[in-house]
Amino acid sequence: MERVHYGGRLPILSNIILNKLDEKLVKRGHHFVRYTNDMLILWKSIRSANCTMANIIVYINNRLVYAVEVSGGVEVRSGN
């Protein structure tokens, strides 16, 4: 099966398929925003971010058969 970016060919279909990932993130209590194939996820720690990202990449690559591109991240710390 050919690997494609998860918004490349059928954005509406990929949006429906990625809804399953959204449900898993909600169930695990993650805060996130997704618009078609772009996703922003907020974590409380770098350790949590690394673990969750690894799981998301495996989920998408294995179950949804899409290539994942990680554009990077930003660490924001509280002043407290």
**pLDDT tens-digit series, residues 34-45:** 887 778 888 888
pTM beyond 0.75 = no
Q: Does the residue 42 lie in any domain?
A: yes
C-alpha span between 25 and 80 (Å, rounded): 27
Q: Please state, in angstroms and as integers, the Cα–Cα distance from residue 21 to each residue in 11, 26, 39, 57, following that order.
A: 15, 9, 11, 11
Looking at the structure of the chain, the number of domains it has is: 1
In a domain, 40, yes or no: yes
Domain residues for the domain of 9 are 4-67
Task: Please report whether residue 78 resides in a domain.
Answer: no
Q: What is the mean pLDDT of the chain?
A: 76
